[in-house]
A and B are shown apart, each in its own frame.
Chain A
Amino acid sequence: MAEEYDVCVIGTGAGGGVMIDQLTAAGFRVVALERGGRVGPLDFDDDELKNVIRDQVFSPHQLETYRFDAESESVTGRFSHLAHCVGGTITHWAAWSWRFQPDDFEVLSKEGPLAGANLADWPISYEDMEPFYTKAEQDFGVAGDNTLNPFAAPQKTPLPNPRHPERVSAKKFAAGARKLGYHPFPVPKAINSRPYGGRPRCMYGGACRAYGCPVHAKATTLSVSLPRAERTKKLDLRIDAMVYELPVDDRGRVTGARYLDSQGNAHEVRARHTIVSAGAIGTPQLLLLSKSNRFPDGLANGSGQVGRNLTFHHHPSVIGVFDEDLRTYTGFESHAAFDDLHASDSERGFIRGGVVAELNTFTHQPIAYSAVLAGDQPFGASWGAGLKDRIRAFPRTLTLALIGEEMPMEENGVDLDPEVKDRFGLPVPRVTKRQHDNDLAMYDWYEKKLLEVAEAAGAKHVASGRNPELHISKTQAQKGNAHNHGTARMGVDPSKSVLDKWCRSHEVPNLWVVDGSFMPTTAGYNPTLTILANAYRVADHFVREAKKGAL
């Protein structure tokens, strides 16, 4: 019989990485299974063609299918913005580090039911999460000044690092926002504004989102959690380990995991507890692959909710072209935001909302800007002299966007594609995703507001971005996003949720899920700080219960 570990963690990203760190620190022996390989600062450059356009660095084997709804044909490709590597998708995050608002934890109670949406309350409150937000902010060195944001969620401990310099584009954005009576502030970022945690200060190289940090100034599980865990000698980290089944014993408990190595050879590890953190696309794929006599519809899926309620964020965006160089190719993705328009107000024709920010997602380097943004603008053209004018406007182009809360819908989700297989012959995840009417109303409303801000900021040309990758309508949804949530919800009622308030399966007592899958609703904020904080919360509970002998 193979050695039995205390804990098997599947995935080394935001959720899994924190669990690995916290549990090894508490003395547990952990085996971690990561489907990707090792990457590090020496692999991280800012070659736009390699990193963004060809996407060759992080997920060379990622494959999925997408369809709009159950009646649509599916297309095969790589739509979710993931990183399959040691450190997971947080390796190339943009480090936005929001706390959700207290009302984001009780959307159903606050709003009441919404037709066509599967709203839910979280089984925990903001107060339950607050100390763990602090823990995550401290460990990941969040820089900023939330006292400048009158709408910030209440926090007992200030951010550990001071704000970053204000990029020229952020100054323009802030001036426009102030003119309209809004309250711009520096986006809290888990990027060092001074040496912190043994990591250096940011070098403001411009290419941040979708890139690995070459100096580890960006806090990730690769730069913060995993090195610490490896020093404990309690961690057995196995790379190129594609988990394809979580076997169960006759008592219905998970015994560990079965995985394929890069050559396709099968291996099995045994552990007393299994913690899944394969992302909100990969986790339902794995649970649905793990069928058994006891769990014929997939592991922990008695509720039928595994893989349902998938949400992203939607992103109306606009551009404003100025006369001067906005330095968008410096710094990191987003330097400024305002949150005045976030609070839910059904008078606007939709519920919920989002945070508005200035960002260089398509203006940090010129290829994506020129190939995608340039095509559908009133100013310029997709080729010829008009394209050249647009290329010349590259450093003078301000981009604004919303992080818009999407409504969860039961029919949006992840299941196993019936035809398309990956390189090992495993069914790839199939994403089914369309937009709720609330999303479309929110998108249109904010797009108008963003145009007002760009105009108030003094832009000479203002236009909606309408990037084909991001635009949504009655007939078009986003095929993929970096923000994936909801496919293994936590909740109080086992018939309506997959996990309990501790992110432990209602049905399988030694199975836990800690990636974005757990979120019943998404809030209008980037999710990662909440995934990190939740993992600290779950780890704290795990350690306390284990010490009591209750696990």
Chain B
Amino acid sequence: MSDHDERQAGLDRRAFLQRGGLYGAGLLVALNLPRPDAARAASESTKPVVLTEAEWATLEAATARIIPTDHEPGAKEANCVNFIDKALANEDAAAVPLYKGGLAGLDGVAKARHAKAFAALDPAEQDAILRDLEKGQAPEWALGEQLPSTMFFETLRVHTIVGFLADPSYGGNADFAGWRVAGYPGPRHRRGGFTPEQVEGKAPVVPIWER
């Protein structure tokens, strides 16, 4: 296999995982049934609705490694775990088994290696485990073919990014943390758009949270 082909194989797998693992295939069609009442009730809460307290803590710790906190907020401050919990309560309900299984699997690897829960490990230990899950190279992963660690990792990765950068009404991107980091000033279709001068860079753009 040449480097090029290997790269392609990797991309194929990623495309497959993105499609099949989260927002793909028949899953997506099944998930698109509107559930407005459930959505409203869930989105009004910042407490766990689908996850247990323990799962919440494990997931929050994992999201914090996907988008870490530095001089700016990361996934933890953006409350990405709340976004995922609410997505699982609504549009992404079909991914509940993946999370329930995957979070238990993640903690299982942590306990096998360090005799501690994943959330109690230090960041370097957490990163080492996540890297192995990403590559499918954690021998302690107990779910095997039933739920490949690669699929759990990719779902976690994409969901964390979405939670960081989706509209705050979905439960993440708290206080516009993700949009602040991205330098994205917020959606404008309902706010009059931008002026030609702003398009051309001749006038400043004020983020929606400062207006």
**Binary CB contact string for chain B from 154 to 188 against chain A (1 if under 8 A, 0 otherwise):** 00011011101111001000000011011111011
Are B161 and A370 interface neighbours, CB within 8 A?
yes
B28, B31, B195 interface centre (most CB from chain A within 10 Å): B28
A486 to B95, CA, bound (A): 38
Q: Is B140 on the interface with A (CB-CB < 8 A)?
A: no
Q: Which residues of A contact B15 (CB under 8 A)?
A: 468-469
Do A385 and B190 touch across chains, with their CB atoms under 8 A apart?
Answer: no
Which of A61, A367, A383, A475 has the most chain B CB atoms closer than 10 A to its own CB? A383
B 48-86 contacts with A by CB, 8 A: 65-68, 70, 72, 74
Question: Closest residue to A326 on the B side, CB-wise?
Answer: B201
- A295 close to B (CB within 8 Å): no
A496 within 8 A of B: no
Q: B25 to chain A: which residues have CB within 8 Å? A: 75-78
The verdict on A493 contacting chain B, using a C-beta distance below 8 Å, is: no
Name the residue in A367, A372, A384 with the highest tally of chain B Cβ atoms < 10 Å from its Cβ.
A367
With an 8 A cutoff between CB atoms, is B14 at the interface? yes
In-complex Cβ contact of A371 among B4, B158, B179 (8 A): B158
A46 is an interface residue with CB less than 8 A from chain B: yes
Q: Mark A298-336, 1 if CB is under 8 A from B, else 0.
A: 000000000000000000000000000101011100000
Whether A296 sits at the interface, judged by CB under 8 Å, is no
Q: A476 contacts the other chain (Cβ, under 8 Å)?
A: yes
Per-residue CB contact flags for chain A residues 154-172 toward chain B (1 = under 8 Å, else 0) read 0000000000111110010
A411-439 interface mask toward B, CB cutoff 8 Å, 1 = contact, 0 = none? 00000000000000000000000000000
Interface segment among A27-35, A248-256, A389-397, A518-526: the answer is A389-397
CB of B12, distance to nearest CB on chain A (Å): 6
Residue in A76, A78, A204, A469 whose CB lies within 8 Å of B195: A204
- Is A473 positioned at the interface, with any CB of B under 8 Å from its CB? yes
Pairwise interchain contact A77-B188, C-beta atoms closer than 8 A: no
Q: Are A367 and B188 in contact (CB under 8 A)?
A: no
**Which of B20, B127, B170, B194: most chain A CB closer than 10 A?**
B194
Interface membership of B19, Cβ < 8 A: yes
Is B206 in the interface zone, CB < 8 Å from A? no
Complex contacts, A395 vs chain B, CB 8 Å: 182-184
Which residues of chain B are within 8 angstroms of A475 by Cβ–Cβ distance? 5, 8, 12
B41 at the interface (CB under 8 A from A): no
Interface: A471 (CB within 8 A): yes
Say if the beta carbon of A114 comes within 8 Å of chain B. Answer: no
Cα of A168 to Cα of B158 in the assembled complex, Å: 29
Q: Is the CB of B162 within 8 A of A367?
A: yes
A206 on the B face (CB < 8 A):
yes
Contact with B199, one of A56, A165, A473 (Cβ below 8 angstroms): A165
Contacts A49-B162, A77-B28: A384 and B200 contacting too (C-beta < 8 A)? no
For the complex, what is the distance from the CA of A370 to the CA of B183, rounded to whole Å? 13
Which of B15, B20, B193, B197 has its CB near the most chain A CB atoms (within 10 A)? B193
Task: List the A side residues contacting B67 at CB < 8 Å.
Answer: 383, 387-388, 391
Which of B8, B157, B166, B196 is within 8 Å of A204, CB to CB?
A: B196
Main secondary structure of the interface of A (DSSP, over half): loop
Chain B residue, CB-CB nearest to A396 = B183
Q: Are B201 and A168 in contact (CB under 8 A)?
A: yes
Interface residues of B, count at CB 8 A: 63
A53 at the A/B interface (Cβ < 8 Å)?
yes
Q: Is the CB of B32 closer than 8 A to any CB of chain A?
A: yes
B24, B181, B201: residue with the most chain A Cβ atoms closer than 10 Å = B201
Per-residue 0/1 for A187-224: is the Cβ within 8 Å of any B Cβ (1 yes, 0 no)?
A: 00000000000000011111100010010000000000
B199: which A residues are within 8 A, CB to CB? Answer: 164-168, 204, 327, 330-331
Mask, A458-480, CB within 8 Å of B = 1, is: 00000000101101010110000
B91 contacts A45, C-beta separation under 8 Å: no
Do A384 and B65 form a contact, CB below 8 Å, given A371-B158, A476-B11?
A: yes
Q: Is the CB of A473 within 8 A of B4?
A: yes
Q: Is the CB of A77 within 8 A of B196?
A: no
The yes or no answer to A4 lying at the interface (CB within 8 A) is no
Chain B contacts for A469, CB-based, 8 A: 15
Any chain B CB within 8 A of the CB of A139?
no
Contact status A166-B29, CB under 8 Å = no
Contact B157 A383 (CB under 8 A): yes
Bound CA span A468–B17, Å: 11
A45, A370, A376: residue with the most chain B Cβ atoms closer than 10 Å: A370
- Selected A-B contacts with CB under 8 Å, 12 pairs: A56-B32, A61-B29, A165-B200, A325-B183, A327-B200, A370-B161, A371-B157, A371-B162, A388-B68, A391-B67, A392-B181, A476-B8
Q: Which residues of A contact B (CB under 8 A)?
A: 44-49, 53-56, 60-63, 75-78, 164-168, 171, 202-207, 211, 214, 325, 327, 329-331, 365-367, 370-372, 375-376, 382-385, 387-388, 391-392, 394-396, 466, 468-469, 471, 473, 475-476
Beyond contacts A46-B190, A53-B162, A56-B91: 15 other A-B pairs, Cβ-Cβ < 8 A, are A49-B162, A49-B170, A54-B28, A77-B25, A78-B25, A166-B199, A204-B193, A330-B194, A366-B178, A376-B11, A383-B66, A388-B70, A394-B182, A394-B184, A473-B4
